[in-house]
A = this chain, B = another copy of it.
Amino acid sequence: MTADVVPLSSVVDAARLLRGAAVRTPVLDAAHWAGGPLGLKLENLQPTGAFKIRGATVALARLSPDARARGVVTHSSGNHAQAVAWAARALGVPATIVIPHGAPSGKVDATAALGAQVVRVDAASRVETADRFVASTGGVLVAPFDHPDVIAGQGTVGLEIVSDVPDVAVVLVPVSGGGLISGIAVALASRGVRVVGVEPELAADAEESLRTGRLVAWPVSSTSRTAADGLRVPSLGELPWEHVRRFVDRIVTVSEAEIADAARLLALRARVVAEPSGAVTTAAWLHHRSSLPPGRTVAVVSGGNADPAWLAGVLSSAGNSI
């Protein structure tokens, strides 16, 4: 199948919808410690700690009044759950979030604290449970990445980057289901900026897909081993895949040790907390620079909801790059 890519006009409209609803995050200069022209787009400073608030807010804001009254449903073990709960509260929309057992308790508690109805199920039945709520309530399912309005919302990250760093040449973006990189690619397609994806070596399905030209999935037995819990989705979504193969320059992979090293330096030199998924782009810059296109680069630090014990461990390690 061939899906249409999201138009730039939808991303521009999303930026209007997000004014005052999401933080217009800064790009922090890292050149003085990163050994070259690197900026950090600090999406970890969003109120829920991740960029996901953008796509969720746009998806909900574009619902009809009738659909809003019926409410929204989603399933997620991570940052999308909090983002939908946050946007639902802001817009006065009832929200039901299906969260599998085993999800980090901090993220579950944060979602419930935002006023969403949280339903806990076994991981295997999360989709079925969400579908059942959709059927019984008439609510709208808000997919985490395979959704044009979500992609448009995430694309506003790209608009802000070119506005703040007009001479940017390369943007590094974490890749999981592909919503973020798809939106950013749309925002930058006409600007001559090269968009490079970054994945953990243990969850490099998109790298394989782009390299081989066909959409592949990786087994959970591999992807579950990366500390980057936000990047464990086994495959790009179908709509993101259309964007990635048309717009994305290349995808670089990083090791678990490189992710930890990058998170340590983000804490000690940039003084920000990144979760492992948010540190992969800085890891690519620090450890795989010869694989990246040249020029002024912005790394998207996509989220900061790090497990405290993981972060404490990272800080206690000696590190190797600086």
Contact = CB atoms under 8 A, between A and B. Distances in A.
A316 interface: yes
A308 B315 contact: yes
Contacts of A23: 28-29
A66 B49 CA distance: 49
A220 interface: no
Contacts of A29: 23, 47
A32 interface: yes
Interface in A265-309: 267-268, 270-274, 304-306, 308-309
Contacts of A15: none
Interface residues of A, number: 27
A19 to B, nearest CB: 14
Contacts of A151: none
Contacts of A274: 271
26 contacts: A23-B29, A26-B45, A28-B45, A32-B47, A45-B270, A49-B271, A264-B308, A267-B308, A268-B273, A268-B308, A271-B273, A271-B274, A271-B305, A272-B272, A272-B273, A273-B273, A308-B315, A309-B315, A309-B316, A311-B312, A311-B315, A312-B312, A312-B313, A312-B315, A312-B316, A315-B315
